[in-house]
Amino acid sequence: MEMNLESIFNPKSVAIIGASREPNKVGHAIVKNFIDSGFAGKIYPINPNAREIIGLKCYPSVSAVKGKIDCAIFAVPAKFVPSALRECGENGVKGAVIISGGFSEVGNVEGEKQIEEIARKYGIAVIGPNCLGVLNPSSRVDSVFLPVYKMGRPHVGGVSFMSQSGAVGGCILDLAARAGLGVSKFVSYGNASVIDETMLLEYLGNDEKTKIIVCYVEGVKRGREFLEAAKKVTVKKPVIMIKAGISVGGAAAAKSHTAALAGSSEAYKALFKQAKIIEAETLMELFYFSKIFDQPLPKGKRIGIMTNGGGYGVLAADAAEQTGLKLAELSSDTKKKLVEKLPNYVTVRNPLDLVGDADSKRYELALDALLEDENVDVIIVITLFQTVGLDSNVVNAIIKASDERKKPIIIVATGGEYTDVHCRILDSYGVPTYHSPNAAMKALKHAAGYAEYLERKEKRK
Amino acid sequence: MEMNLESIFNPKSVAIIGASREPNKVGHAIVKNFIDSGFAGKIYPINPNAREIIGLKCYPSVSAVKGKIDCAIFAVPAKFVPSALRECGENGVKGAVIISGGFSEVGNVEGEKQIEEIARKYGIAVIGPNCLGVLNPSSRVDSVFLPVYKMGRPHVGGVSFMSQSGAVGGCILDLAARAGLGVSKFVSYGNASVIDETMLLEYLGNDEKTKIIVCYVEGVKRGREFLEAAKKVTVKKPVIMIKAGISVGGAAAAKSHTAALAGSSEAYKALFKQAKIIEAETLMELFYFSKIFDQPLPKGKRIGIMTNGGGYGVLAADAAEQTGLKLAELSSDTKKKLVEKLPNYVTVRNPLDLVGDADSKRYELALDALLEDENVDVIIVITLFQTVGLDSNVVNAIIKASDERKKPIIIVATGGEYTDVHCRILDSYGVPTYHSPNAAMKALKHAAGYAEYLERKEKRK
């Protein structure tokens, strides 16, 4: 039976089952999020004991709603879920997000089975149970029950993120919001009783607004199908994944968390390799790797580095070689141009140390030269915002240089609040920023590897 | 000849040679920093063309100052440095921080030789040339010429940091200030013409206020002496080091940066091993590793994990095993206590998933139990501040639990601004926070390794 994930990610009307008037309840937070996010469709709070919630008319049940409901969000105790889901089915609801926990992850296998049976009978696409919800900044869908002041919401962008763990999902969303990274769709899918990782991967793979897919997975239910789906997706867009539960202790923890069977680490390594999935080893890598794909794919591995701090140039050169990238040999044209235009105390080489008193003009010159240089595939711009000479204009210069997406431009900047403000602007324009040369180079290595993979695929055709 | 580093780090009076009335000049920023930091001693701006700078009387030369000058800070072009340094020597100045660049790093070997000769003749401890300056939050010494709004100043603490690169130094200071990490002494030593890394290491090794020494090094001038000094220091306090210029490209960049001869990567690996120096491979590790030593050293490798996000428990268990740490087997007493007191939907195991609705009381219970449990050497507290149930009280509970320093308590929290605020409070109390389980476990591995080293040393006595 065809399941309709559109009703989950782009509903025109939602019912919140278990809507509550108590501000600290999940069923309250979700109603408020839909109102605050500016959801354009209908919102139907469902609660037999309330007449109004945050100014919205409340309904005793889904059957009492006259209009069509595309998606129902469940924030009621587990024992009430099956009957309410059946009622949804009988009223033609095609999407359900079951936030409620208390199913197979605590041994209530029977309850979860009921959900599955009802979903299949009525053709309801069910996300969850035991999940954090769904977010789609472009359609203003926000069933994530974490308050906005605690977890920021990212703006519209190209990264879609499917996470088995709600906690991991929430943290990454919060990081993305803080960093200015744009998100297309987010789904925390919990126990994956009906809609599993394979279906989500296929949906996001076909979704035009999704440019990059990021996954946190504890266990894959249908390994072979997932592999086949992943193979088809990765020729269209990059898939980045972290597999949790790869240790003995971790696997046991995963079982009690989302009832996931973690599987062997080797099996997953093989899966990643066969499907050309990019493996992140840590949460921060998941985040770092996804940012790099906002830039064009590199045509090669020859990088040009510019910096206003000599030490950072040294570290960047080290990190480049360690990750298998190459320092570009600047063309004689570039060298000539730079010697002419830069102050005489700047030594023209790669890494190009623009020296501590560099201003945005000097960066602009260097950016122009390296953009033109055919020996340079990627430009790493190290901007230490702490110096007296560097002001916010350098951000404009970088955004302008990156605007045509001629070649990837990647920023390294370490620091506190002043630095963060500038990094956020750059990230919001799809110019990825990294706290350290090492993080940038690791991400870049994966972008270069993915570019090579696509090229090989292309040649075989 | 004995060089007096006290005049550098704890001067009672300073002269700023090249003090300027122009706000965007280095010689201005340094005068302002000394005023703003609340430096208790005398400040003598030196400039023949000004009568007053920021309200302070200005002197035409060092000779014109009647009072004693402990330390002179140089912010004049390279060509003026030797004569001004000689004047300092003739007037009994025993410390000099030469910010000015334009010496051996650009081929002016002669100028640097002059500095050396003058320093030895008059017994002046010279830091630099080509450096960022010196910071001592406790004596309010601040010759770092980066504006406070761009680079935060850390509060008083136990980490001392010597950096050959000013840029790297400034960024780490900025990170430390933002994160709430306390610093004892910071010195950017640039070309190390007179005071080199070995002397600084010895000084910081003997400095009672320094609990942890962190170093960024491009090249060590006197390898054997450094090794001997390091061996003596590491039995007293941990030394964490990043060696830059370990690649071919990086070594070449280091040479043009601080005229450093990078040496072979293998030689440094051997040095680190022999002297039990903790090697950081990235800038962020330098920062992460230094934080861990604010906690007591672990008595063993058995860790207890608590979390309000199941996925993070899984990732933490993975990271623990990958770094050679062990998941503790909770004692039957602990299990009994926890089963009694925690809600029935919490499964008592390690990692202990306190579940998404955990509040600070639940954390307090778990903290108390794991502090008492003799099977647990280290406690990892994962606090995902995004949840509705967790409020700022958990910070108080953790600080209180850590107050007696019974065993190391380490925090993992990922997120945006709300999370950061809480992490900053924890770090300022010496409870280290990490963005990811992986970063925490890596740091912990080094703390455990260092503890074992000290124990072996102790037994041999």
Global confidence as pTM = 0.91
Which of B142, B423, B458 lies closest to B291, judged by CA? B423
| Cα distance between residue A207 and residue A203, in whole Å | 6
User: Do the Cβ atoms of B439 and A282 come within 8 Å?
Assistant: yes
Average pLDDT, rounded, for chain A: 94
Q: How many CB atoms lie within 10 A of CB A350?
A: 26
**Res. A260 pLDDT band, cuts 50 70 90:** low
Strand partners, B214: B161, B240
Closest chain A residue to the Cα of B106, Cα to Cα? A345
Residues facing A188 on adjacent strands: A133, A163
- Is A317–B250 a contact, with Cβ atoms under 8 angstroms apart? yes
Interface residue B40 vs chain A (CB under 8 A):
no
Final residue belonging to a domain, choices B292, B318, B343:
B292
Domain count, chain A: 2
Q: Please list, in sequence order, all residues whose beta carbon lies within 8 angstroms of the beta carbon of residue A176, skipping any fewer than 6 positions away.
A: A154, A159, A182, A183, A287
For residue B59, what are the β-bridge partners?
Answer: B46
- A433 contacts chain B (CB < 8 A): no
pLDDT at A423: 96
CB-CB under 8 Å, B249 with A388: no
Q: Which of B69, B188, B43 is closest to B122 using CA atoms?
A: B69
Q: With residue B239 as reference, give the H or E element that holds it.
A: strand B239-243
In order of A91, A315, A443, A449, B266, the CA distances from A318 in angstroms are 62, 5, 15, 19, 14
Interchain CB distance below 8 Å, B314 and A281: no
Does any domain span residue A255?
A: yes
Q: Is A31 on the interface with B (CB under 8 A)?
A: no
Chain A residues within an 8 Å CB radius of B386? 146, 150-151, 170-171, 174
Q: Does A257 touch chain B (CB under 8 A)?
A: yes
pLDDT in tens, B375-429: 999 999 999 999 888 989 999 999 999 999 999 999 999 999 999 999 999 999 9
B207 and B350 assigned to the same domain = no
So what's the pLDDT on residue A261?
61
CA proximity to A1, closest of A188, A195, A203: A195
B329 touches chain A (CB under 8 A): no
Nearest-CA distance A421 → chain B (Å): 11
pLDDT for residue A259: 67
Of B269, B292, B315, the domain-final residue:
B292
Q: How is chain B split among helix, strand and coil, in percent rounded to 5?
A: 45, 15, 40
Best of A318, A421, A424 to substitute, by most chain B Cβ atoms within 10 angstroms, is A318
Pick from A174, A246, A438: CB nearest B282:
A438
> Residue B382 carries which side chain, given as an amino acid letter?
I
Question: B293 burial class (0-12, 13-18, 19+ CB within 10 angstroms)?
Answer: buried
User: Cis omega (within 30 of 0) on the bond before A45?
Assistant: no
pLDDT at residue B225, as a whole number: 94
Residue B306: predicted pLDDT: 98
Contact yes or no for B225/B269 (Cβ under 8 A): no
The answer to whether residues B342 and B220 belong to one domain is no
A297 in a structural domain: no
Quick check: B171 and A353 CB within 8 A? no
Domain-located, residue A330: yes
Q: Does residue A1 lie within any of the structural domains? A: no
Residue of B168, B288, B314 for testing the chain A interface, max A β-carbons within 10 Å: B314
- Of the candidates B165, B175, B282, which has its C-beta nearest A309's C-beta? B165
Residue of A315, A321, A325 to mutate, interface with B, max B Cβ within 10 Å: A315
A334 domain residue, yes or no: yes
CA distance B360 to B391: 7
Which range marks the domain in which residue A391 is found? Answer: 302-460
| Residues B364 and B433 both lie in one domain | yes
Hey, which residues 206-245 in chain B have their CB within 8 Å of chain A? 216, 218, 242, 244-245
What residues in B contact A149, CB-CB < 8 Å?
A: 418
* Closest B-chain CA to A356: B167
| Gap between the Cα atoms of B26 and B147, Å rounded | 9
**B63 and B165 both lie in a single domain:** yes
The beta-carbon neighbor of A314 closest among B178, B245, B415 is B245
Find chain A residues with C-beta within 8 A of B149's C-beta: 418
**Beta carbons of A355 and A312 less than 8 angstroms apart:** no
Nearest CA in chain A to B285: A436
Give me the helices (H) in A108-211, please: 109-122, 166-179, 197-206
Q: B167–A356: do the CB atoms touch at under 8 Å?
A: yes
- ipTM higher than the 0.85 cut: yes
Residue B297 counted as domain residue: no
The reply to whether residue B146 touches residue A175, judged by beta carbons under 8 angstroms, is no
Rounded to whole angstroms, the Cα distance separating A284 from A271 reads: 22
B435 and A CB contact within 8 Å: yes
> Do A94 and A241 fall within a single domain?
yes
Q: Report which secondary-structure segment, H or E, holds B243.
A: strand B239-243
Say yes or no: B169 and B272 in one domain. yes
Q: Do A436 and B282 touch (CB under 8 A)?
A: yes
Same domain, B166 and B118: yes
Tokens of residue B4, six digits: 């007096």
The distance of A60 to chain B (nearest Cα, Å) reads 26
CB contact under 8 Å between B175 and A415, yes or no, is: yes
Residue where one domain finishes, among candidates A243, A267, A292: A292
Considering only the beta carbons, identify the residue of A253, A282, A321 that sits closest to B313: A253
Which CATH number covers residue A175? 3.40.50.720
**Nearest residue on chain A to B345, judged by CA atoms?**
A106
Q: Do A165 and B310 touch (CB under 8 A)?
A: yes
Same structural domain, A316 and A377: yes
A261, A319: one domain: no
Cβ of residue B26 closer than 8 Å to a chain A Cβ: yes
Contact B414/A172, CB-based, under 8 Å?
Answer: yes
| Kind and range of the H or E run holding B101 | none
The answer to whether residue B1 sits within a structural domain is no
Whether A56 and A125 share a structural domain: yes
CA distance B347 to A33: 31
Question: How far, CA to CA in Å, does A119 sit from each of A3, A90, A131, A195?
Answer: 9, 11, 17, 10
Residue B395 lies in a domain: yes
What is the C-alpha end-to-end distance of chain A, expressed in Å?
A: 34
Kindly state the tokens that stand for B199: 């002397």
Question: Are residues A374 and A259 part of one domain?
Answer: no
* DSSP per residue, B130-179: S--EEEETTTTEE---S-TTTS----EEEEEEEES-HHHHHHHHHHHHHH
Chain-chain contact of B152 with A218 (C-beta, under 8 angstroms): no
For the stretch A314-329, pLDDT in tens is: 999 999 999 999 999 9
What is the structure's pLDDT at A78?
Answer: 95
In a shared domain, residues A187 and A248: yes
* Cα–Cα distance for residue pair B404/B401, rounded to 1 Å: 7
C-alpha distances out from residue B360 to B326, B363, B365, B385, Å: 26, 5, 9, 11
Distance CA B6, CA B72 (A): 13
Q: Which parts of chain B have pLDDT scores under 50?
A: none
A265 in B contact zone (CB under 8 Å): no
